[in-house]
Amino acid sequence: MSNCIFCRIASGDLPANVVYQNADVTAFRDIHPAAPVHVLIIPNQHIDNICDERAYSSDILGRMFQAANQIAAVEGLAESGYRLLLNYGPDASLSVPHLHLHLLGGRHLGPMVMPA
């Protein structure tokens, strides 16, 4: 999708700090990092979100998680640990409508959800 910023990053049309890319996925550093390591892993093909049927018609979710784990190891997080996060909808503050997985680590990340 030409008007999707993450599609443009995957195709190389928009600059980003890309840390990993293969035929299926692209991973790049989040522009507003919430942790010392904050990488976004996206499918190269446009998939709107986790409710999009295209997420299930291929092995793309598995490939995204596999890439995330490989990147975590390269970033030195294998022993200290890390968090993989996927937002959907307004209550989760989803802001970019292209499926993406957040890889966060490099410090103690605290509780999974901010207490109400």
The catalytic site residues sit at: 100
Name which position in 1, 31, 74, 78 contacts ligand AMP (CB under 6 A): 31
Secondary structure string (H, E, C) spanning 22-60: CCCEEEEECCCCCCCEEEEEEECCCCCCCCCHHHCCCCH
Mask 46-75, x = binds ligand AMP (CB under 6 A)? ------------------------------
Neighbours of 47 (CB within 10 A): 24
In whole angstroms, what is the distance from residue 22 CA to residue 60 CA?
12
Minimum gap (Å) between residue 79 Cβ and ligand AMP: 25
Q: Could you tell me how many residues of this chain bind ligand AMP (CB under 6 A)?
A: 12
Name which position in 2, 3, 57, 95 contacts ligand AMP (CB under 6 A): 95
Question: Sheet holding 82-85: strands in order across?
Answer: 18-21, 25-29, 37-43, 101-105, 82-85
Chain residues 71-90 in contact with ligand AMP, contact rule CB under 6 A = 87
Phi first, then psi, for residue 65 (nearest 5°) are: -65, -40
Closer to ligand AMP by Cβ: residue 28 or 82: 28
Interface contacts to ligand AMP, rule CB under 6 A? 5, 16, 28, 30-32, 40, 87, 93-96
